[in-house]
Chain A
Amino acid sequence: MATINLKKKEIEAKIVYYGPGRGGKTTNLEYIYKTYKKQVTGDMVSITTEGDRTLFFDFLPIGLGKIRGFDVRVSLYTVPGQVQYSSTRKLVLKEVDGLVFVADSLQVRREKNMISLKDMAQNLKDYGLNVFKVPLVFQYNKRDLAEEGFPILTVEQLDKDLNRQLKVPSLPASALKGDGVGATLKECLKLTLKSLKSQFQEGS
């Protein structure tokens, strides 16, 4: 759960980019780091292993400025994709406030998307969170590969595979070029802040 400090009028929220390995989570954060300099409040930390793969997580702190008098700070994280890191992946998910599921549009990764989504839902459940209730958006990444003629899934297929029941916002993107990266984050922030607001009102 986010920390809300009434005295200091501060909100600290956590957004996690989840999804199959090599789907473009780190690339999303890198693009945000490069592009939204004004919002970025600290260095991006990437803990990588052989072949530049995320080992534990990436971390990027951003600030949204004042929203209704509250200073809103958000920590963005990515999880490692590889199966052998399931316990650290779960740890990164702890106390998450909002999620971006980065799906890989490549046809060869179709099954991996579904497995990863299932894994996410299970990990959330273990933390007492419900995938149907957590603020969540899908990003269908690597759309640019279609132009080069590579076999990718259509947005409709991806929606059918992943979003048939959840029915959350889904956005096409090309994280490498930056297309859709900001829109995805914005959508997720919107849902997250809305959810925090209602949690906060219930609690008070």
Chain B
Amino acid sequence: MNVAVKIKTLLQEAELYRSQGLLKESIGKYRAAADILQKVDKVKNRDAYLEGIARKIRAVEKELDAFLNAPAAPEMTAAVQDLIKEKFAFAKDADSQPLEGAIALAKFGQYGRALEEFRSLLAKEPVKVAAAKNIIRCHISRESFDEGIEEFRQWDGDGLFSPQQLENLRVFFQGVLDKRGIEKTVEIAQSGAETFQEIESPELDLQLDQSDAGQEEELLDISSIGVLMEDGPQTGERVEFDVSFQSGKEISLLIPSREKGMIEHLRVGTKLNDIEFYSPFAMFQGAGIVTSNTKIATGPKRGDFSLDIKVTST
């Protein structure tokens, strides 16, 4: 191909890709054209041409930057938020459905509206704890930590939750703050948290994604889980573990050697009927079975236990 034709073709391609928003491809073609132009001799006004191409490249780069710097999740109109809430809630039962809708709003970055929705769900007994945890997550995502702590104090004052639930939420909140390295403390105002020894029946379980029952459901990225112990010294307590590794429906936990007492009650084959899974967004409930329980023999984690759990339902 004649050099002039070749350059012209490249420039046309560059223009087309730009018009289609294929900006990197466009820059690539402009550069290729400039490269060829640079190599051929005897071009009149070469510098002017090159400068022209360079200007184009800068303009496309600017478009690319604008795109890359656009807000990840701008506030949508109420109508769009309604649509998200309606279309991304798949649960069939009347309590989980609005919760799922609110979680979808949060996933799409609509935290303000999601918070409103979660707050309205605090009045619904079966989902109120899940709603509260998601409110905490929203505050964490928005980094409105103080507002979150203030909201927690209100729950405390309102008597919205049982002391045990409140303590659960406190532990949860503190846990996420600690994990993020945020030095703030969540406290319950009245003392006497210890007096609530009696074990409450677990809250009516929220089952997100019920419509998917029986089907292989996705497992979101899980950062930690809370296992309701059914055996051993901590029977009736929800113990939280960090997830060290996750692959499909298998999750691995690392249990420090000091928790040895518990390990015996998590033998291979143990069914864990009540697990709360905490992912960066949703909190959902399910069950699992211990598939391996091994003591780590070497390395820095020597003496700790590695526990694998297969998630059997969510």
User: Which residues of A are at the interface with B, using a C-beta cutoff of 8 A?
Assistant: 1, 21-22, 45, 47, 49-53, 55-56, 59, 75, 84, 87-88, 90-91, 94-95, 106, 108-109, 126-128, 145, 149-151
Contact, CB under 8 Å: A45 / B83:
yes
Q: Closest chain B residue to A20 by CB distance?
A: B22
Q: Is the CB of A49 within 8 A of B80?
A: no
CB 8 Å contact bits of B151-189 with A (1 = contact, 0 = none): 000000000000000000000000000000000000000
Nearest CB in chain A to that of B92: its residue: A3
Q: Are A47 and B76 in contact (CB under 8 A)?
A: yes
Do residues B108 and A88 form an inter-chain contact, with CB atoms below 8 A? yes
Indicate if the CB atoms of A51 and B216 lie closer than 8 Å.
no
Chain B residues with CB below 8 A from A52, complex form = 21
Cβ of B87 within 8 Å of any chain A Cβ, yes or no, is: yes
Q: How many of B's residues come within 8 Å of A, CB to CB?
A: 37
Residues from chain A with a CB closer than 8 A to the CB of B197 are: none
CB distance from B102 to the nearest CB of A (A): 14
Inter-chain CA distance A150–B9, complex, in Å, is 9
Contacts of A84 in B (CB 8 A): 72
- Say yes or no: A53-B83 contact (C-beta < 8 A), given A22-B22, A47-B76, A88-B107: no
Whole-angstrom CA separation of A51 from B21 in the bound complex? 7
Which one of B12-20, B111-119, B129-137 contacts A?
Answer: B12-20
Q: Which of B63-71, B224-232, B236-244 contacts A (4 or more CB under 8 A)?
A: B63-71
B80 & A47 in contact (Cβ 8 Å cutoff): yes
Chain B: CB-nearest residue to A77: B87
Tell whether B104 is near chain A: CB-to-CB under 8 Å.
yes
B218 adjacent to A151 (CB under 8 Å): no
Contacts A49-B67, A50-B70, A127-B218 given; does A91 touch B88 at CB 8 Å: yes
Q: List 24 A-B contacts (CB under 8 A).
A: A1-B211, A21-B21, A49-B71, A50-B66, A50-B67, A50-B70, A53-B21, A56-B84, A56-B108, A87-B107, A90-B218, A94-B88, A106-B17, A106-B25, A108-B25, A108-B28, A109-B22, A127-B216, A127-B217, A127-B218, A128-B212, A128-B218, A145-B16, A150-B16
Known contacts A53-B21, A53-B67; is-contact A150 B107 (Cβ 8 Å): no
Residues of B within 8 A of A95 (CB): 90, 211-212
Q: Which of A51, A55, A145 sits near B63, CB closer than 8 Å?
A: A51
Q: Which residues does chain A contribute within 8 Å of B22, judged by CB atoms?
A: 22, 106, 108-109
Q: Are A91 and B66 in contact (CB under 8 A)?
A: no
Q: Which of A22, A49, A53, A149 contacts B74 (CB 8 A)?
A: A49
**Chain A residues in 8 Å Cβ range of B74:** 49, 55
Q: Which residues of A contact B28 (CB under 8 A)?
A: 108
Contact B67 A108 (CB under 8 A): no
Contact A51 B108 (CB under 8 A): no
Say whether B45 faces chain A, with CB atoms less than 8 Å apart. Answer: no
Q: Would A150 and B13 count as touching, CB distance under 8 A? A: yes
Could you tell me if B21 and A59 are in contact, using CB atoms closer than 8 angstroms?
Answer: no
Q: How far is the CB of A159 from chain B (nearest CB, A)?
A: 23
A95 to B16: give the CA distance in the assembly, Å: 36
Tell me the bound Cα distance from A21 to B22 in angstroms.
9
B190 within 8 A of partner (CB): no
In the complex, are the beta carbons of A108 and B88 less than 8 A apart? no
Q: A75-B87, A95-B90, A127-B218 are in contact. List 10 more A-B contacts (CB 8 A).
A: A1-B212, A47-B80, A52-B21, A94-B90, A106-B25, A108-B25, A126-B218, A128-B216, A145-B16, A151-B13
